[in-house]
Amino acid sequence: MRRRLALAAPAVALVVVLAATPPAHAKPAHAAPKITVLEHHGRWESGYGSTFYNVVGRLRNDTGHALRWVKLRVDVLNSKGKVVATSDTYNEDAEALAVPELDPKQLLASGKIHPIPPDAEQRFRTSFLKEETPPFQDYRVRVLEAPPAK
Which tens digits make up the pLDDT trace of 3-49?
Answer: 333 333 333 332 222 233 344 444 444 445 599 999 999 999 999 99
Range of the domain at 130: 34-145
The pLDDT of residue 33 is 57
Q: Is residue 150 part of a domain?
A: no
Which amino acid type is present at position 60? R
pLDDT of 150: 82
Lowest-confidence range among 7-21, 47-61, 121-135? 7-21
Residue 113 reports pLDDT greater than 90: yes
Q: What phi and psi, each to the nearest 5 degrees, are found at residue 87?
A: -140, 125
pTM: 0.76
Count structural domains, the chain. Answer: 2
Q: Are both 1 and 61 inside the same structural domain?
A: no
- The CA R_g of the chain, rounded to the nearest whole Å, is 17
Residues 128 and 145: their CA atoms lie apart, in Å, by: 21
The answer to whether residues 18 and 7 belong to one domain is: yes
Same domain, 138 and 76: yes
CA geometry: angle 25, 31, 36, nearest 5 deg: 145
DSSP 8-state code for residue 115: -
